[in-house]
Amino acid sequence: MKKVMEKIKSKKAVISAVSLVLLVGIIFWAVNSPAVVGVSAGDRELPIYCVQREDKCVALSFDAAWGNEDTQALIDILDKYDINATFFVVGDWVSKYPDSVKALHDAGNEVMSHSDDHAHFSSLSEDEIKANIKASNDKIENVTGERPTLFRCPYGEYNDTVIKTVSEMGMTAIQWDVDSLDWKGLSADEIQSRVLNNVKSGSIILFHNAAENTPEALPGIIEALLADGYTIVPISQIILTGDYTIDNTGMQCPLKQEKNA
């Protein structure tokens, strides 16, 4: 009888051990499953990549960090079609080319911040981010008389700290959903094809000043968009104001109003 009891206890111990292993396995799976990880990913701070709109409205944006040889050409092209765009400029670029910055602003284009020195913002602390953006904003305001309200991260790099800090400064972080890849030296036809094949209502399109073939590609892009019924506006006029949310693709969406019972 004693031996039988010992065997029963032994079996119970084995069962308990197996149960513990299974429990640990279940917990590990739950924590690391795609569904749970997806919830965490959904809570990530995001910039605005595009906007949920149904009115065939798009925004053109240009990043200015290095050369300046095409700035006036871009101004003239936009002026020809009576449209304006948003230029994200680096503070160092403002210091080098203040006359071009003023010309952009005087032509009705938005001049917004692209940092002070095109640093990798994901490696900066909150205080470093604030100091960097403030330096850029100060330079832009000194030339244009207007303080930037929008910010584009250099290299398109960001993390939660970057986006939260930008928001705390009263600014909105802006990305893009259509990349012309003009900085790669693509031909004008290739740039046009990339943009027109990917654009949709609410798109924010990325170009660069001083890109080799952008001035040649831009008129055809503008003409095609206008012919297709699109309105082209600066970014501050395409993004939503008031209450909104940003989905996991970076699309800015209006908050749905609950119907009265």
Q: Which residues are catalytic?
A: 63, 208
Of the candidates 242, 227, 257, 201, the residue with the CA atom closest to the CA atom of residue 81: 227
Strand spans (E) along 28-109: 50-51, 57-64, 86-89
The whole-angstrom separation of Cα 92 and Cα 160 is 25
Of the candidates 208, 114, 186, the residue with the CA atom closest to the CA atom of residue 157: 114
Of the candidates 6, 39, 59, 3, the residue with the CA atom closest to the CA atom of residue 231: 59
The whole-angstrom separation of Cα 70 and Cα 201 is 28
Q: How far is CA 199 from CA 5, 55, 57, 121, 205, in A?
A: 75, 13, 10, 28, 8
Sign of the four-CA dihedral 148, 161, 59, 65: positive
CB 74 within 8 A of CB 62: yes
The CA-to-CA distance between both ends of the chain, in Å, stands at 72
